[in-house]
Amino acid sequence: MASEFVYTRRVEFADTDTANLIHFTALLKFMEEAEHALYRSFGLVGYRWSDDSVFGMPRVSVSCDYLGAVRYGDEVDVRLRVREVRRKAIRYSAEFTIDRPGEREAVARGDWTVVCARREHGCRDWRGIEIPSPLKERLRALTAVPE
Amino acid sequence: MASEFVYTRRVEFADTDTANLIHFTALLKFMEEAEHALYRSFGLVGYRWSDDSVFGMPRVSVSCDYLGAVRYGDEVDVRLRVREVRRKAIRYSAEFTIDRPGEREAVARGDWTVVCARREHGCRDWRGIEIPSPLKERLRALTAVPE
Amino acid sequence: MASEFVYTRRVEFADTDTANLIHFTALLKFMEEAEHALYRSFGLVGYRWSDDSVFGMPRVSVSCDYLGAVRYGDEVDVRLRVREVRRKAIRYSAEFTIDRPGEREAVARGDWTVVCARREHGCRDWRGIEIPSPLKERLRALTAVPE
Amino acid sequence: MASEFVYTRRVEFADTDTANLIHFTALLKFMEEAEHALYRSFGLVGYRWSDDSVFGMPRVSVSCDYLGAVRYGDEVDVRLRVREVRRKAIRYSAEFTIDRPGEREAVARGDWTVVCARREHGCRDWRGIEIPSPLKERLRALTAVPE
């Protein structure tokens, strides 16, 4: 059974649109913020390794189902799960919930896959690399599924 | 065979991130912009009907695969297709391409579903409605598939 | 002497741009978030009065000086001050600081003016109104300057 | 008398907020887009010199007065003027207008200063540099004011 990492984010004014709802891309930003908060919880700071080289986790695939209205001021819990840790890629899912009076409402569900990459050619390009072992172990501990 | 509606959008500085690439949510904004450009091409202005009532097309589901690097200054063609027109919902897909010297590169592919809705209770809520006939006909003409 | 209200915000990936810095508009979003956090600290929830009517605080003027590099992962303190409370308008300023090892760095300074407004004509328009007394009093207490 | 460079931008759904207006930071993005369109009109592509080194024009100061309502679907003309070209800095101003039936409405006015900079230490830092002569000459021709 996968562990859940919970990241809470308030919907700010700039996250909303003329429909009086959160813009659909803002929930996807929250998704990425939750993932980065997970990395920070492992001690990774600003996408830098101890040797000061920079890596990244570009998304290769994203999907999201919108289930309920999310509005300015709402506090959204992003309930992140690590679904699969491969050699170079990680698959995540998240349920987005809001605690309404008397109930927890699921307002969206997302799935996404990131790959581990390292910069090369100065600042311009990225090359896929294996996920470094310490990070891979921390992530696999969260999936809690034997390989 | 579905017709293609092409919307061209330059990647602006604010669309990019520290990875030196377009932020993944910016391509999803381009997707929505392309869809709205399609509605404008039908004569719909600012999500208003002739009786000045307001409608909207909230997204209920979105997915995107990222296939290639998109950077500041690139001109992206969003090649929109109407996949299915239901009573209250429309399914779209898009291929995102960039014309590189000597080739057209597919940099992303997206799918999404919107529902037609109308405001009620002042400005606060939305209720699903049937897609108005004139709009439905224009959209079905683009799917060019017999029902 | 004006009191300071401090709002802390981490720079997220989506806030940055290809220059490897925060996008200049993101600091202005933090400014607005700080102001809204101040209103929430007064018990205002989601820009709604007790009678469920909606008000807003549109900005009429904004300025910002950028003094230092702000990057992905930085924690920015927005140090908000209420400069002046007029009948319909409020003038704020903020210093943005980052606690670096051994020093507090001022990375930006902003000034802005908002007016109190209420919706009319359905959802479309806004009309300037007097700042409601309870809000005005809370704000004036923060300026701590006799009128 | 300064020449005017006009950049036209439609207000997209993602540019708006719950107030049913453009978010105040979106007009500042349009400002930056107009400035970059000016550089492109000079033949600069993607902030790269002919030797493929990268430069940037970070903003050091920005201000904007908001004069009228800007909404989803509006076409905004950013009327850019080059106010002053110094050794390392450029000062711009812009009037934002919308062509309404029978009149041109000024909806905002902005001023900002950028400095020319070059990356160093890999991708991380920026150092102020003199504006390269060809760019300086093109900009000074637009100010059309003797030095």
pLDDT at B52 over 90: no
Query: Rounded CA gap, B120 and B74, in Å?
Result: 41
Q: Is A28 in Cβ contact with B58 (below 8 Å)?
A: no
Residue among A18, A20, A66 whose CB faces B59 most closely = A66
Q: Which range among C43-47, C141-145, D137-141 shows the weakest confidence by mean pLDDT?
A: C43-47
According to the model, what pLDDT value does residue B60 have?
97
C14 Cβ neighbours under 8 A, 6+ residues apart: A29, A32, A33, B17, B23, B25
DSSP D147: -
Token pair of A79, please? 């309930």
Confidence (pLDDT) at C118: 84
Q: Is A28 on the interface with B (CB under 8 A)?
A: yes
Output the pLDDT for position A22.
95
Phi, psi of A3 (to 5 degrees): -80, 160
Per-residue confidence (pLDDT) for residue D43, from 0 to 100: 82
| Sequence-distant (≥ 6) Cβ neighbours of residue A134 within 8 angstroms | none
Which pair of tokens denotes residue A89?
């890629």
Q: What is the pLDDT of residues C117-131, one digit of tens each?
A: 987 766 667 888 999
Q: According to DSSP H, which parts of A6-90 are helical?
A: 24-41
Q: What is the pLDDT of residues B123-145, one digit of tens each?
A: 667 888 999 888 899 999 999 65
**Which residues does chain A have within 8 Å of residue D20's beta carbon, measured at their own beta carbons?**
18, 20
A 125-144 residues inside an 8 A Cβ radius of D: none
- Which pLDDT belongs to residue D125? 76
Q: What is the pLDDT of residues B9-18, one digit of tens each?
A: 999 999 999 8
User: What single-letter DSSP state applies at residue A108?
Assistant: E
SS3 B33: helix
Q: Residue C110: pLDDT band by 50, 70, 90 thresholds?
A: very high
**A59-74 pLDDT tens trace:** 999 999 999 999 999 9
Inform me whether the C-beta atom of residue D23 falls under 8 Å from chain A C-beta atoms.
yes
pLDDT value of residue D147: 46
Are residues C110 and C94 in contact, defined by beta-carbon separation less than 8 angstroms? yes
Closest D-chain CA to A48: D124
Q: Using one digit for the tens of pLDDT, what is the confidence trace for D36-62?
A: 999 989 887 655 554 455 678 999 999
**Which pLDDT score, from 0 to 100, does residue C85 have?**
96
Q: What confidence category does residue C96 fall into, taking pLDDT thresholds of 50, 70 and 90?
A: very high
Strand, coil or helix: what is A53?
coil
pLDDT at C48 over 80: no
Share of chain A above pLDDT 70, in %: 86
Sign of CA dihedral D17, D19, D22, D23: negative
CA dist., res. C116 & res. C145, Å (int): 21
Q: Chain A partners of D123 at a C-beta cutoff of 8 Å? A: 54, 119, 122-123
- 3-state SS, residue C34: helix
* Rounded CA separation C13/C7 (Å): 19
In the prediction, which pLDDT does C2 show? 60
Please tell me the predicted confidence (pLDDT) of residue C147. Answer: 46
Q: Which of B13, B19, B122 sits opposite C123 (nearest CB)?
A: B122
The DSSP 8-state label assigned to residue D54 in this structure reads: B
pLDDT given for residue C89 in this prediction: 97
List, in order, residues 6 or more apart from A33 with CB less than 8 Å away: A7, A9, A78, C12, C13, C14
pLDDT for residue A18: 86
One DSSP character per residue, C9-68 reads: EE--GGGB-TTSSB-HHHHHHHHHHHHHHHHHHTT-BTTB-TT--BEE--EEEEEEEE-S
Using a CB-CB cut-off of 8 Å, the residues of chain C touching D32 are 24
Percent of residues, chain B, with pLDDT higher than 70: 86
Binary contact (C72, B13; C-beta < 8 A): no
Assign B49 a pLDDT band (cuts: 50, 70, 90).
Answer: low
ipTM of this predicted complex? Answer: 0.91
% of chain B with per-residue pLDDT over 90 = 69
Q: Nearest C-alpha of chain B: how many angstroms from A24?
A: 7
**Looking at B109-123, C50-64, D42-56, which range is the least confident one?**
D42-56
**pLDDT value, residue D119:** 78
Q: Which chains have 3+ CB pairs within 8 A of D?
A: A, B, C
Q: Does A29 touch chain C (CB under 8 A)?
A: yes
Angle at CA of residue D38, ends D139 and D71, nearest 5°: 135
CB atoms within 10 A of CB D120: 11
Q: For residues A99 and D47, which has the higher predicted lDDT (pLDDT)?
A: A99
Q: Tell me the pLDDT band of C29, cut-offs 50, 70 and 90.
A: very high
Does A73 reach chain C within 8 Å, measured CB to CB? yes
Query: Residue A133: its pLDDT value, please?
Result: 87
Tell me which of C55 and A15 has the higher pLDDT: A15
Residue C145: per-residue pLDDT = 55
| CB count in 10 Å sphere of residue D20 | 22
Residue B125 and residue A69: Cβ atoms within 8 Å? Answer: yes
Which CA distances in Å does A141 have to A3, A59, C28, C115? 9, 22, 39, 52
What confidence score (pLDDT) does residue B147 get?
A: 46
**Class of residue C51 by CB neighbours under 10 A (exposed 0-12, middle 13-18, buried 19+):** exposed
State the distance between the two ends of chain C, measured CA to CA, in whole angstroms: 13
DSSP, res D34: H
pLDDT digits (tens, 9 = 90+) for D115-128: 999 877 666 678 88
Predicted confidence at residue C74, as pLDDT, reads 93
Instruction: Report residue B49: phi and psi, to 5°.
Output: -85, 175
Q: Which residues of chain D have pLDDT under 50?
A: 50-51, 146-147
Question: Does C53 score more than 60 pLDDT?
Answer: no
Share of chain C above pLDDT 70, in %: 86
Which tokens go with A69?
A: 């209205």
Model pLDDT, residue D47: 59
Q: Are B96 and B110 in contact (CB under 8 A)?
A: yes
Q: d(Cα C58, Cα C63) in Å, to the nearest integer?
A: 15
